[in-house]
């Protein structure tokens, strides 16, 4: 197999590229480098700079590298930004996806893996979210991921392409500091950012209907997310083209509240994570925790890292990219 990874110079794409290379797969990456970093990629990976909106470029990469399968990560992924810039999100995430799918169908690529998100569920009112939990995305980012799944499935049926869409829950950590996500848009890096700049971490609301009043999420190490993609790629390789059409959650199946995460971050890093409680963030569901049963059944995969390892790797990566952080934290 030769896999095309769109967005492969990104945070999750970079982790998947490395694990697929380690598994002996041939990889080519297409990335517009708007947020991706070529330094994330192993030397043996061919990197083509380009946009998934450029149909000719995508078709050329598929033909010139003999691509037989595609993992599609290229997308915008910030919830708040998607609310302010829906045109950007629908263009990049939907038209970009369609362009890649059209090129795949035309060039005879018969295996396609799509990077989706737990954002498709919106505010699920269940203890554990299964793949049949009703989807009601609450922002353009989540909408583009749900509609993206529909398009992937429809293209698979119409053109005999085997497809798997993977819904990520709350991803954090890094297998090596170089592969870390530089963005400060999620809880763990936001806590590091606040504390190492002399401020208390913020808790967005402590009056939710949860045991300690703070929101509960399913936090998963990015290395586990990457290994789930390797397992999915293996399944697509083993099945006959067009035979597979799956949508799978990637989570640990256990929830931690914001307060529990702050306590864990303090325990793992030695940071003082005493928080400042502020008002709720609009659109935050009280609890979003995955059932990881279907991916275990379909791919034989389960998460192997615990949340403490995830936090430790995130802190190591943060200190690598912010050398002053450790000193500031001990001040």
**Strands of 42-107, DSSP E:** 46-49, 69-72
Q: Residue 117 interacts with ligand WQD (CB under 6 A)?
A: yes
Residue in 3, 121, 168, 301 binding ligand WQD, rule: CB under 6 A: 168
Count of residues that interact with ligand WQD, criterion CB under 6 A: 18
Q: Residue 186 interacts with ligand WQD (CB under 6 A)?
A: yes
DSSP state of 38: G
Strands 256-257 and 216-217: antiparallel
Which tokens is 169 given? 């829950």
Residue 280 beta carbon to ligand WQD: minimum distance, rounded to whole angstroms: 8
Residue 11 among the catalytic residues: no
The strand pairing partners of 70, in sequence order, are 4, 112
What is the SS3 assignment for 77? coil
Cα–Cα nearest to 79, from 141, 152, 3:
141
| Span 249-268, contacts to ligand WQD by CB under 6 A | 258
- Choose the stretch contacting ligand WQD; rule: CB under 6 A; options: 95-103, 116-124, 266-274, 322-330: 116-124
- Choose the stretch contacting ligand WQD; rule: CB under 6 A; options: 9-17, 44-52, 113-121, 310-318: 113-121
CA terminus-to-terminus distance, the chain: 52
Q: How many residues can be counted in the chain?
A: 331
- Choose the stretch contacting ligand WQD; rule: CB under 6 A; options: 48-56, 99-107, 148-156, 201-209: 201-209
**Which residues are CB-contacts of 10 (< 8 A; sequence separation ≥ 6)?**
31, 35, 36, 40, 73, 74
Closer residue to ligand WQD, CB minimum distance, 186 or 237: 186
Residue in 9, 30, 152, 203 binding ligand WQD, rule: CB under 6 A: 203
Q: 323 φ, ψ to 5°?
A: -55, -30
- Choose the stretch contacting ligand WQD; rule: CB under 6 A; options: 18-26, 91-99, 198-206, 245-253: 198-206
Q: Residue 215 interacts with ligand WQD (CB under 6 A)?
A: yes
C-alpha count within 13 angstroms, C-beta hemisphere, residue 242: 6
Which one is catalytic: 11, 121, 141, 168?
141
Residue 251 beta carbon to ligand WQD: minimum distance, rounded to whole angstroms: 11
> Which residues here bind ligand WQD, judged by CB under 6 A?
77, 79, 117-119, 168, 170, 186-187, 190, 202-204, 215, 217, 258, 281, 284
């Amino acid at each position: 197999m030769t896999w095309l990874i769109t967005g492969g110079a990104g945070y999750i794409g970079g982790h998947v590229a490395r694990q697929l290379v380690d598994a002996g797969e041939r990889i080519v990456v297409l990335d517009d480098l708007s947020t991706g970093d070529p330094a994330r990629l192993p030397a043996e990976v061919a990197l083509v700079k380009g946009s998934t909106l450029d149909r000719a470029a995508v078709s050329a990469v598929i033909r010139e590298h003999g691509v037989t399968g595609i993992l599609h990560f290229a997308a915008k992924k910030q919830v708040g930004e998607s609310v302010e810039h829906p045109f950007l999100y629908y263009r990049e995430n939907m038209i970009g996806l369609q362009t890649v799918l059209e090129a795949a169908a035309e060039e005879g690529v018969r295996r396609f893996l799509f990077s989706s998100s737990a954002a498709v569920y919106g505010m699920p009112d269940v203890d554990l979210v299964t793949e049949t939990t009703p989807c009601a995305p609450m922002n353009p980012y989540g909408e583009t991921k749900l509609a993206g799944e529909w398009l992937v499935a429809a293209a698979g049926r119409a053109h005999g392409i085997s497809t798997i869409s993977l819904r990520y829950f709350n991803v954090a950590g890094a297998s090596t500091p170089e592969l870390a996500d530089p963005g400060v848009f999620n809880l763990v890096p936001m806590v590091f950012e606040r504390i190492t700049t002399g401020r208390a971490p913020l808790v967005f609301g402590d009056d939710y209907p949860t045991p300690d009043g703070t929101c509960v999420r399913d936090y998963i190490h990015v290395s586990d997310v990457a290994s789930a993609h390797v397992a999915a790629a293996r399944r697509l390789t083993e099945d006959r083209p067009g035979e597979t059409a799956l949508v799978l959650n990637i989570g640990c199946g256990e929830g931690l509240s914001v307060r529990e995460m702050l306590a864990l971050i303090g325990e793992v890093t030695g940071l003082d994570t005493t928080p400042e409680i502020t008002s709720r963030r609009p659109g935050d569901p009280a609890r979003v925790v995955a059932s990881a049963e279907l991916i275990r059944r379909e791919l034989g995969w389960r998460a192997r890292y615990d949340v403490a390892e995830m936090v430790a790797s995130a802190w190591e990566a943060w200190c690598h990219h912010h050398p002053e952080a450790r000193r500031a934290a001990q001040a």
